[in-house]
Amino acid sequence: MKPIIGIGTNHLVRPSQHMSTNYVDYTQKNYVSSLVNAGALPLLLPISDPDMAAAYVERVDAILLTGGQDVSPRLYGQDPIPQNELNDWDRDQFEQGLIHAAIAAHKPILGICRGIQLINAVLGGTDYQDIPTQVPNAIGHNQFPTDWASPVHRITTTNGSLLQQIYGKQAWVNSFHHQSVRKVAPGLTVTATAADGVVEAVEDSDRHILAVQFHPEMMAATNQQAAALFTAFVNGVRDTLA
């Protein structure tokens, strides 16, 4: 039986001749195909009232939190700096509900890019709102317009971590972000960093959390390690169902 993985969606606002604002909930195809290839059944979760989050979590076996807009610093009690743009407070609140509900139900969570930043903020940590502004001597973390499937910098993983089992001690990853984990939330363990110290992965085995800053979904079709990350996540979901 294929585990059902609920995928958090993005808001796209586009003009419409029939209404002043037309919101579209969507996700990138690569998230879906990566989960399908790993043996799961993906289910898109439209951005809704936070009170509905628990009902969604009841109907899935795990949650995938995807990339997208900047995480609002309101989640960790800070004002936004000018470089913090494109916040989606409705999404922040809804996915905050998904995180709390999934943890309460002992259901695994995989966070990617924005997902790691959101998990950290929701669980009591803080984020860098803009790496170029706030991290001295940072390497380049936004490879645009380079192909998303191309690795651009190296990460070092932590001994004993799930990520090291998948990627080895060091690996090359892609990078499309300007925010990142700053103060790590209680209970989360940093399991990978970049050369400049920027957090590239966190884990919490007790709460079934794995979150990465890079985009394995963009590399999974051609990169064995990236595909293996999704396989490990789906297999972990199966273990919780056994």
Residues assigned a catalytic role: 113, 215, 217
Backbone angles phi, psi at 167, to 5 degrees: -105, -10
CA atoms within 13 A on the CB side of 230: 29
How do 10-14 and 22-26 pair as beta strands?
antiparallel
Question: Is the Cβ–Cβ distance between 65 and 110 less than 8 Å?
Answer: yes
- Number of CB atoms found within 10 A of residue 60's CB: 22
Residue labelled with tokens 């079709």: 221
Helix (H) or strand (E) run with residue 239 in it: helix 224-241
> Alpha-carbon distance 228 to 236, whole Å?
12
Closest among 125, 135, 229 to 173, alpha carbons compared: 229
Instruction: Please give the C-alpha separations between residue 105 and each of 28, 49, 62, 185, 240, in angstroms, as whole numbers.
Output: 27, 19, 10, 20, 11
Phi, psi of 75 (to 5 degrees): -65, -25
d(CA 32, CA 187): 29
Bond from prior residue into 145 cis (ω within 30 degrees of 0)? yes
SS3 of residue 69 by DSSP: coil
Q: What span, in angstroms and rounded, lies between the C-alpha atoms of 235 and 242?
A: 11
